[in-house]
Amino acid sequence: MAPLPVNSTARLWVKKSGISGEHETMFRFIAGTSQADAVNGVHVIMEEMASFIWEDDTFISARWAADGSNLSFPVAWDPIVGENPGTPDEAQYPGFVSWVGRGADGREVRWTLQGVPFTADDNYRIFSTDSVTVAAVCDALAFELTIANIGSFHPIVYPYINVGYNAYFQRKARRS
């Protein structure tokens, strides 16, 4: 499959900041999606994702890049505070969860939250049938019809999350 330009769709990045550092999650949108619709739809998704991040972390801001543009600009965003109680130790900072989907064109899309706690089974997946919080985010992603993969197709969202450790942040934690 031929690669597509990174600016082939409109994009919205949501920044998470707090005890586990700063990270961004990017969303793509179907052609013709307005900035306001994108922000509103993603805000609903991030409200569901808030149960995965620490209480000391917040989805603090967002920035928008129009379809075809290489420039992104801040947009109005109501912060969303994490709902996961407790305080992580540095060994948990490399933890991540990601939701995956695939569009009708066969291209994959992935949304990742970095610096989150999780308990994984042997295959490093948590299925929506085993967790209401996983199911809620899967449903929010599936029902927000403006989100897309890089080919501008709405994805079928898989009914699970992948969990793991980011090697870069794992090595960083070992050095501290």
Instruction: Give the Cα-Cα-Cα angle 24, 44, 26 (nearest 5 degrees).
Output: 25
* pLDDT at residue 175, as a whole number: 72
Domain boundaries, the chain: 10-175
* pLDDT at residue 123, as a whole number: 85
Q: What is the pTM of this model?
A: 0.92
* pLDDT at residue 21, as a whole number: 82
Higher pLDDT, residue 5 or 118: 5
pLDDT digits (tens, 9 = 90+) for 16-49: 998 778 999 999 999 999 999 999 999 999 999 9
pLDDT band of 176, cuts 50, 70, 90: low
| 164/122 Cα distance (integer angstroms) | 11
In this structure, are strands 73-75 and 156-165 parallel, antiparallel, or unpaired? unpaired
Q: What is the 3-state secondary structure (H, E, C) of 24-81?
A: EEEEEECCCCCHHHHHHHHHHHHHHHHHHCECCCEEEEEEEECCCCCCCEEECCCCEE
| 144/41 Cα distance (integer angstroms) | 6
C-alpha closest to that of 25 among 55, 1, 45, 51: 45
pLDDT digits (tens, 9 = 90+) for 101-145: 999 999 999 999 988 877 767 788 999 999 999 999 999 999 999
* pLDDT at residue 117, as a whole number: 76
pLDDT band of 173, cuts 50, 70, 90: low
Neighbouring CB atoms inside 10 A of 176's CB total 6
